[in-house]
Structure 1
């Protein structure tokens, strides 16, 4: 793989933090042929699969640890063995597995065993561990160790998401029991006992993460010896870095896709994928004045969703009608409350007006700022001032977390995006009552929503699942806490000599990147 000198060694239009990530070592600017330089929309925060914070964490965790199975790259959803030499479902509640005999943990923690599989799965499912991802193993009974390398996963009931999201996803990762216990039971950015195709070589916060090939990995060898991941939060800045020759791969902003179709940079191609992700505006029902349901309902009527999405994506994506994307059971074509500014004013008057300042929290990117400014204008049109608070990723992802501080008490509204797995339960599980103060930043408590979530994960009939998940989104509408915006469009910029590893929804699979 060959590279040319960057046309610009620094981009004046990129923020200072982003510029820092683009400075190559002083001893030379040419990248080695075995090095791939990628952009991630956020810096890593927690690599522990049980406590990961965001998609960038999961992307790296799936590189440096092995699971029983892994997702396939391509246009069809599927999985393939990774750490397992064999795995099959004996009946609707029993999965049999045998590990390969050549999976080695780094740092002297030895061979991966069935005991490590038991530890890793039961650790996430254990209520005492309080993992935000415990619902990925909600119906686990236990893991039975048969011998050194084989065992059985026993479920309490049939579990619809098992092969769609749990086993191929980050919650299916195998950790070394000895390694995790040696570091006190959990970890963040210093992963113990790595076992995947790559190893975490270096992390410089807000600058870069370097992965290097794991010499002890006996599976399919990755095409690139080294991957450098640059955390550039703003998509427009990342696109400029790509155009300057400083990146081999980036996710483009939704608003740039139509432009890129007709005006690609040199030595580049555009790949488009239908994403599963969802973007919405959330309202904290415990924070004044939104503890009044009339004020929450007024917000649903005050905001012109089409204008917000047009600003967020520059006209590149359609509005959404819920949190479940087209193609999955539960995708809707309606919302119960939509743009009606006169109705919004009426509800505010009935509630006695809004007598305290309003604010909305967003990630500091051009897309989120554009969306927030339209919301600001919508509210100004009915006589309400709105302050926009911008955050870097480190501070943003803590604003609704009880564990992270006190901001959850005063945070009023926010806009964000959640990534998805190809099962509707992975959209709804973040809003169940148990997630309040973790990922349920709206602090909405609906026992009926929780009951339906439990019903959905054991239902295999597609038509019945469709009805369950539509009913759940109806409840979200009624709460007044949610304003659904878009599922975006997923545009990927890549060099013509790079064949990226991607799921059908455009999620990156770093070990699957190949030289075209």
Structure 2
């Protein structure tokens, strides 16, 4: 694509500002043969162990180097399809029988993929000794019975509706090699001890690129591209420049740029827009003074003019959120409890003895839309006498801020603008705010036993109406705590070369191994 009159010097300067080397650019441009797919990820990989993955970019890579029994189908409707299984059938509410396809093998001499690997992969998720971050995705699992080398039965303690929307079809459903993982001590980070997917990791240069090469031993339908270059570019504007110059085949586009791309798409480029399931919010750490006072937290809730924040960050492309569960999903709330009212905000500050204001910090990921949102929030707070300093972090630093195992940074969090990706079941939104997640992903340190119990009950409730009522009440509890100002679910803009057909889930998440080259390529 060459619609934007950009010089190599301009691209190099932008990439240098994003922390990418000139050597990277020269290599990234060498894919005119049509056999290499060049995709942008908003962050580098941080963990490829299904039990300890960090963010969506990890999931995107794991989907290519591992298999699950099932996977999501590209398109506009949420539905699953067989992946490593040739048969997958729920025979009653608590039993799911499976049979693996023929010919699946592990790399590095670890032999065939077996039903015992499936047993190991799923049961380790609920092993208290491992303490998997994503154990909630499998909390109804009792055990896996192995029938023979390729077949077995998943046995649940109770019916578990989220399993087909989350546990089986996303990261927690990826199968790992028992032999290989046990040989490295029971878990791993960014270096999988064995792989079995359609692609294999050929090379990883941290913060530069990750190269996936087609797996020669894959027995299913072969992916179309020989290689996939996954290029971490945190800055959206830099990614836009690379797309417009023809040096990327695919990237997410920030909502603020969607109107421009719709009006004037780059030559040789296309854009599509998908509804997002993700959720963005302003959080308050209730253990960090002065936010340990409910009156202060309530003041902030009343001080934030959400539409003005979204205008600044998304240029009108995103709608305000009423909670963490997006429209169309069970448990979506119709309205918020607390609304914008600077006068009420000042009243609450007076009640807290802080009528003259105070100083605080706002931690954010250094992405354009979050910077813009934080600046608008900063301005809102200034109107009630609160002086907020914005602290920007790269992805590696940001995603460890609230993790107690990573140090004491969690103690310094006061306000934080955050965004979590989402899967098509409400449980994947609510799981991260339970008491058990304090110091893991619950950075506001919101501590509600009632919320935690409702989260467990809602997962196994089979009546959709009752389940929805539970999830609505859980979001009420979050807002009533004063720890949250719900901002938006955002929107997902995708820019791509007209030489490819991207394979996207309904919310825009990519399935790289299913991307196709167009007939003109």
With the shorter chain as reference, the TM-score category is over 0.9
**2:166–2:425 CA contact under 8 A, matched in 1:** yes
**1:309–1:317 CA contact under 8 A, matched in 2:** yes
1:360–1:80: structure 2 CA closer, same or farther, 3 Å change rule? same
Deviations 1:98-148 (A, max 9, x none): 112311000000001111101000011112211110000010001111111
Alignment match, 1:8: 7
Partner SS state of residue 56, structure 1: helix
Measured in 1, the distance between the counterparts of 2:387 and 2:328 equals 39
Alignment match, 2:99: 98
**1:39–1:238 CA contact under 8 A, matched in 2:** yes
Matched, 1:453 2:432: no
Alignment match, 1:385: 387
Matched, 1:401 2:400: no
After superposition, residues 52-201 of structure 1 pair within 5 angstroms as 52-201=53-202
Measured in 1, the distance between the counterparts of 2:5 and 2:203 equals 24
**1:101–1:111 CA contact under 8 A, matched in 2:** no
Alignment match, 1:287: 288
Partner SS state of residue 294, structure 1: helix
TM-score calculated relative to the size of structure 2: 0.96
Deviations 1:52-86 (A, max 9, x none): 00000111011101111111111111111111111
After superposition, residues 3-42 of structure 1 pair within 5 angstroms as 8-10=7-9, 11=11, 12-20=13-21, 23-25=24-26, 29-42=30-43
The Cα shift of 1:193 comes to 0.9
Deviations 1:449-483 (A, max 9, x none): 11111111112222222211111111111000011
Measured in 1, the distance between the counterparts of 2:387 and 2:155 equals 55
The Cα shift of 1:6 comes to 9.8
Match of 1:418 among 413, 417, 420: 420
**2:250–2:496 CA contact under 8 A, matched in 1:** yes
Q: How many residues align?
A: 515
**Structure 1: runs of 5+ lacking an equivalent:** none
Alignment match, 1:209: 210
Measured in 2, the distance between the counterparts of 1:4 and 1:450 equals 52
Alignment match, 1:444: 446
RMSD over aligned Cα, in angstroms?
A: 1.8
Measured in 1, the distance between the counterparts of 2:459 and 2:22 equals 42
Measured in 2, the distance between the counterparts of 1:418 and 1:96 equals 32
TM-score calculated relative to the size of structure 1: 0.97
Match of 2:378 among 370, 376, 379: 376
**1:22–1:246 CA contact under 8 A, matched in 2:** no
1:216–1:296: structure 2 CA closer, same or farther, 3 Å change rule? same
Measured in 2, the distance between the counterparts of 1:16 and 1:161 equals 42
Deviations 1:405-463 (A, max 9, x none): 10111111111111111101111001111111000001011111111111111122222
Measured in 2, the distance between the counterparts of 1:91 and 1:22 equals 56
After superposition, residues 357-372 of structure 1 pair within 5 angstroms as 357-372=359-374
Measured in 2, the distance between the counterparts of 1:76 and 1:67 equals 20
Match of 2:486 among 478, 484, 487: 484
After superposition, residues 214-253 of structure 1 pair within 5 angstroms as 214-253=215-254
1:61–1:312: structure 2 CA closer, same or farther, 3 Å change rule? same
Measured in 2, the distance between the counterparts of 1:28 and 1:287 equals 47
Measured in 2, the distance between the counterparts of 1:248 and 1:57 equals 19
**1:125–1:138 CA contact under 8 A, matched in 2:** yes
Measured in 2, the distance between the counterparts of 1:268 and 1:366 equals 22
Matched, 1:316 2:336: no
**1:5–1:245 CA contact under 8 A, matched in 2:** no
**2:16–2:22 CA contact under 8 A, matched in 1:** no
Measured in 2, the distance between the counterparts of 1:255 and 1:463 equals 36
Deviations 1:1-59 (A, max 9, x none): x9999953242345523542784447984533210101000110101110000000111
Measured in 2, the distance between the counterparts of 1:485 and 1:39 equals 26
Measured in 2, the distance between the counterparts of 1:197 and 1:511 equals 7
Measured in 2, the distance between the counterparts of 1:27 and 1:231 equals 12
The Cα shift of 1:165 comes to 1.2
Deviations 1:379-410 (A, max 9, x none): 11111111100000000000000011101111
**2:18–2:238 CA contact under 8 A, matched in 1:** no
Alignment match, 2:327: 326
Alignment match, 2:477: 475
**1:115–1:148 CA contact under 8 A, matched in 2:** yes
**1:45–1:53 CA contact under 8 A, matched in 2:** yes
**1:38–1:229 CA contact under 8 A, matched in 2:** yes
Measured in 2, the distance between the counterparts of 1:505 and 1:19 equals 28
Measured in 1, the distance between the counterparts of 2:380 and 2:359 equals 16
Measured in 2, the distance between the counterparts of 1:337 and 1:494 equals 40
Measured in 2, the distance between the counterparts of 1:312 and 1:135 equals 33
Partner SS state of residue 110, structure 1: coil
1:129–1:329: structure 2 CA closer, same or farther, 3 Å change rule? same
Deviations 1:167-211 (A, max 9, x none): 011101110001001111111111111000000111111111111
